[in-house]
Every structure is written in structure tokens, then in C-alpha cells.
């Protein structure tokens, strides 16, 4: 109460704002330190990457420009590289034979012959007197393909000659064609049990009708399965 008997009046300004608090120095310094550390780390990584890339480029340039003395020789200003040794061919794991036609073959009237200069494949099998000679007993897939000019009738067969059969020759595969087309071909294939010293050969009705322009037109082979 005032001296005059009236109550005291207090005025409050609700729009007044508090003065801003000063920033904490410790937090500002910590943030600046973290940012500076990250910047230094990124710059260091970039410099290391550039140095490694420069080393790779230098080594690549040295390899291309100056061949090593162990693999090359410098003669009259020219680099002479010795020929590399060819890798050995891995032999098949089982007997196999693949023969083709060729300009060197001489057929009989009905028995076909096969080329020995057109890269024949013979492993654990022999070729003798126009026939394949089996060296190991087992099951074999036997096949033959012949290409021929059109005739009224054309016979194609794969035969087996064995000492175990008194008749001497056993037909294994056989086909007969009657075609009016200018050119045709015949393919035979099957699985058979063969014994050592068995002989396989291809027989046709007339070898004069066989086409021999390309070696792959006529094939004959067998492989153990």
C-alpha cells in the first residue's frame, strides 16, 4: 500500500526480450577442431591416392619402353624377343579317334579310306587298311557321315570285323537312301561294346559317288564312353 492509502501498481512489459546469451567458447572450439581434422584427413587421402597413381603410371611406362634383358635382346637398335615355348597339349583321358576325308585318300570300290594328313585324331586307337583298330575293350560311341551325289539307291554302313565271330564281319549301323536331290548326306551313330583288335570300317554302295571337295564332308570316328 502507498502512503496515500492506494494500492501500488506494477507495470510489466510482456514484449521485452531477454538479452542473448554469449556462445559457449568450448563448443565452438570443439567444432572447429573436428572440421579441421576432417579436412586434413581428406587432403592426406587425396595426396596418397595421387602418389600411388603416379607410381603405377611410372611402372607401366617403364615396362612398355624398356623390355627386360632376360626376355629380349637389343640388336642393331631393334628389340628381338625370343619365341615363347608352346604349351603341351593335354592328351584325352580315354581312347578316341576322329578321321576326315582328304585329297590323299584312295577308296576301294565299296570301302572308304581316310586322310592321314588332314589332322587326324588318334589316341589309343590305330588306323590300318582303311579301318580303325580298337586297342582297349569297352563301350564306344561309333559315328560316320558321308556326303554323296544323288543316285537311285545309296547304301551307307559301319561294319565291325572281329575274331570272335566266325562270319568275320558284323554290320553295326546301316542306312539306305533313294533321293532325287543333286547332293545329299548320311549320318550314322550308336553305342557298341567292342573288344581289343576289333576293326571298324565304313562301307558304301559305290565310292565313286562320294563328294570330296572339303575334308569335313566325310567323317568317321569312335570314342570310349
How many Cβ atoms are within 10 Å of 198's Cβ, its own excluded? 22
The pLDDT value recorded for residue 136 is 96
Q: In terms of Cα–Cα distance, which of 97, 104, 147 is closest to 120?
A: 97
Q: What is the model's pLDDT at position 1? A: 53
Poorest-pLDDT segment among 37-51, 123-137, 182-196: 37-51
Q: What is the dihedral of CA 191, 175, 220, 212, to 10 degrees?
A: -170
d(CA 82, CA 60): 22
Please report the pLDDT score of residue 65 as a whole number. Answer: 52
Q: What is the pLDDT of residues 137-174, one digit of tens each?
A: 999 999 999 999 877 788 999 999 998 887 779 999 99
Instruction: Output the CA torsion 175→181→185→190 (10° steps).
Output: -30
CA–CA distance, 111 with 161 (Å, rounded to integer):
13
State the CB neighbour count (10 A cutoff) for residue 220: 26
**168 vs 193: CA distance, rounded Å:** 16
Residue 100, pLDDT above cutoff 70? yes
The model's pTM is 0.60
pLDDT at 17: 56
pLDDT at 49: 77
Q: What are phi and psi of 22, to 5 degrees?
A: -70, 140
Looking at per-residue pLDDT, the higher value among 73 and 179 belongs to 179
Between 208 and 183, residue with greater pLDDT: 208
Closest CA to 224 of 191, 188, 175: 191
Nearest to 220 by CA among 94, 96, 98, 124: 98
The pLDDT value recorded for residue 166 is: 78
Cβ contact 148:185 at 8 Å: yes
Amino acid at each position: 500500500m502507498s502512503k496515500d492509502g492506494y494500492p501500488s501498481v506494477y507495470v510489466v512489459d510482456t514484449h521485452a526480450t531477454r538479452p542473448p546469451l554469449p556462445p559457449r567458447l568450448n563448443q565452438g572450439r570443439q567444432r572447429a577442431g573436428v572440421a579441421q581434422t576432417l579436412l586434413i584427413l581428406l587432403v592426406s587421402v587425396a595426396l596418397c591416392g595421387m602418389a600411388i597413381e603416379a607410381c603405377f603410371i611410372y611402372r607401366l611406362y617403364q615396362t612398355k619402353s624398356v623390355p627386360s634383358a632376360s626376355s629380349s635382346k637389343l640388336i642393331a637398335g631393334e628389340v628381338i624377343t625370343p619365341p615363347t615355348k608352346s604349351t603341351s597339349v593335354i592328351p584325352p583321358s580315354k581312347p578316341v579317334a576322329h578321321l576326315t576325308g582328304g585329297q590323299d585318300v584312295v577308296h576301294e570300290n565299296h570301302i572308304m579310306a581316310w586322310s592321314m594328313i588332314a589332322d587326324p585324331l588318334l589316341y589309343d586307337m590305330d588306323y590300318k587298311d582303311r579301318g580303325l583298330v580298337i586297342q582297349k575293350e569297352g563301350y564306344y560311341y561309333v559315328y560316320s557321315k558321308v556326303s554323296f551325289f544323288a543316285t537311285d539307291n545309296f547304301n551307307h554302313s559301319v561294319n565291325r570285323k572281329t575274331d570272335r565271330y566266325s562270319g568275320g564281319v558284323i554290320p553295326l549301323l546301316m542306312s539306305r537312301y533313294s533321293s532325287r536331290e543333286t547332293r545329299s548326306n548320311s549320318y550314322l551313330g550308336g553305342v557298341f561294346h567292342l573288344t581289343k583288335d576289333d576293326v571298324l570300317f565304313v562301307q558304301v554302295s559305290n565310292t565313286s559317288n562320294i563328294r570330296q571337295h572339303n575334308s569335313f564332308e566325310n567323317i568317321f570316328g569312335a570314342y570310349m564312353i
